[in-house]
Structure formats: C-alpha cells, structure tokens
Structure 1
Amino acid sequence: MYTGMNALNSKYSGRGLVILGFPSNIFLKQEPGANATEILNGVKYVRPGGGFVPNFQLFEKIDVNGNKEHKLYTYLKSYCPPTQTEFNPSILFYTPIKANDIQWNFEKFLVGPDGRILKRAGPGVDPATMEVDIESALSPASGDSGGALLG
C-alpha cells in the first residue's frame, strides 16, 4: 500500500492531491513504534522495507476506533458506510467495536477540498483503483482545486 500511495502522490500532488498517513496500533499491534521516527524506520526497513521512504506526510500514531478514537476518524466514518461489517475481535486492540469502525490498516478516505467525504475504500483496495475518483475530484469541472487521500 505504501508504494501505491507514493505513486498517487507523485502523479497528483501537482494538481492538489494531498496524501496523509495515520498509523494506528489497534490492529494486531502492527505499529508498535513509540513515535513517528520509529514508525518511519519500520516502514523503511521492514514493511515494505528496502529503504522505502514515503513521499507523503506520515503522522504520529493515533487510535482510529474505540474509546480513544481521534476526532478526525469520528468525522470521516460518520459520512460513509463501512467497508465491511464483520470483525474478528481477537486481533483488535480497542473497545467498543462498532459497525462503522475502520476494518484494518490502510483503509482509505478520499476527501474533497471542501471537507466532503467522497469515497471510503477498504484496506485491501489498491490505491491505484481510486484514480478515477481522484481524477473526478481534481477535475476543473468539479469546481474543486484539490483533495486529500487519508489512509
């Protein structure tokens, strides 16, 4: 997913697309880094590794579900249906579990420059498959001059 996000950022950043990454450790504890530097090192050397460096903003780790859910994700989830409705509680490290929760790492939201949520895509969706929606959001006909892809 990181490489796909980099590719989209390279292709569309000049047209106003901004990609923002929000790591979370509530899914099988896969983001154990204590801060952004540790998380970036994990990306660079482990997943995807090979010296990879994201070309988009990677923020400090937050909770995207549960009692400590960040308000940004409360907002995002309130405007679109969930990508899946079944959860495996044994791999989730938060409570309570709600039907509209983020399913797993790399769930994506396309947000217009006006803050309107345009699309929600599941964790397994290749970022490249969102290009039609990104093109539409960035087109002069839409009246928009930018947008954000949050993952």
Structure 2
Amino acid sequence: MQEPGVGAAEIMNGIRHVRPGGGFEPNMTMFEKTQVNGDSESEIFTFLKDACEYTDGTFSSGVNYSPLRVGDISWNFEKFLIDKFGKPYTRYHPTLLTTDTISADITTLLAA
C-alpha cells in the first residue's frame, strides 16, 4: 500500500488537491486499495503471481507485510498481461517494461 490514503475518496482528494492539485479532476475509475502481497493479498494477485514467472532477481528489504514470499510483487508499476480468455500471459518487471516489448506481446495475443 504505497499510495497514502485509506480509501478511494481520500486518494482522489489527494489527486485533486495535492498531486497535481489545483482542483484537477481525474477522468478515471478509482477502485479501492487492495493488498498484493502477504496473508491479506487479494485472490486475483495470488492467481496472477502463481501463473506468471517471477521477474525480479532481488528481494526488497524493509517491506511491511508478512509472510514474505519469492514471487511477491516488488513495486506498484509491475504489470501483468492477460489474454482474451482471462489467462495470464506474462509479467513485466517495471525496469524491463518497454513500449516495444508490451506492443509485441499484445500483437501476438491479438493474432492468436
């Protein structure tokens, strides 16, 4: 839970008044925060992590959940690509994700 705030309304207020502020009105659906690691992780993230190969060679210290598991999501910009049948296709570490990489994978999935 890296984004400060308790729920969607509080987070949205942070966007409106702090980042970028000035009464900015985001044009997106804001969902509730969820846990992606640990005993309280959301079932969707358990499913995604079990289906895709781990993308990081190191394990972060200083995390605030337990238990720690190999395969945990290490950063909030990590992405999962899912095919049109709902099957996880691959997982992207944020430092390795490029427009070219994901474009090629999306093209492959659309052609399947």
TM-score range, shorter chain: 0.7 to 0.9
Shift, 1:131, TM fit? 1.6
1:64 pairs with 36, 39, 62, which one? 36
2:65 is aligned, of 94, 97, 102, to 94
List runs of 5+ in structure 1 lacking aligned partners: 1-24, 143-151
Give the CA deviation at 1:126.
4.6
1:122 maps to: 93
Q: Between Structure 1 and Structure 2, which shows a larger proportion of strand residues?
A: 1
**Alignment partners' CA distance in 2, 1:125 and 1:39:** 28
Q: Secondary structure at the match of 1:89?
A: coil
Which one has the largest radius of gyration? 2
Q: Name the CA distance, whole Å, in 2 between partners of 1:124 and 1:42.
A: 27
Give the paired residue count: 108
- Given the two structures, how large is their TM-score scaled by the length of structure 2? 0.80
Q: What corresponds to 2:26 in structure 1?
A: 53
Structure holding more helix per residue: 1
1:112 — aligned with what? 83
- Give the Cα–Cα distance (whole angstroms) in 1 for the partners of residues 27 and 59 of structure 2: 29
Distance in structure 2 (CA, Å) of the matches to 1:108 and 1:43: 22
How far, CA to CA, are the matches of 2:25 and 2:109 in structure 1?
28
Q: Secondary structure at the match of 1:74?
A: helix
Q: 1:58 to 1:103 in 2, by over 3 A?
A: same
TM-score (norm 1): 0.61
What runs of 5+ residues in structure 2 fail to find an aligned partner? Answer: none
Pair 1:54–1:73, CA change in 2 (3 A): farther
SS in structure 2 at match of 1:109: strand
Give the drift of 1:66. Answer: 0.4
Residue in structure 2 matched with residue 11 of structure 1 by the alignment: none
Distance 1:124 1:74 in 2: 22
Q: Does the CA-based 8 Å contact 1:85-1:100 persist in structure 2? A: no
Superposed, 1:17-96 pairs within 5 Å as: 25=1, 30-44=2-16, 45-46=18-19, 49=20, 51=24, 53=26, 55=28, 57-90=29-62, 92-96=63-67
With a CA cutoff of 8 Å and minimum separation of 6, indicate the structure with the bigger relative contact order.
1
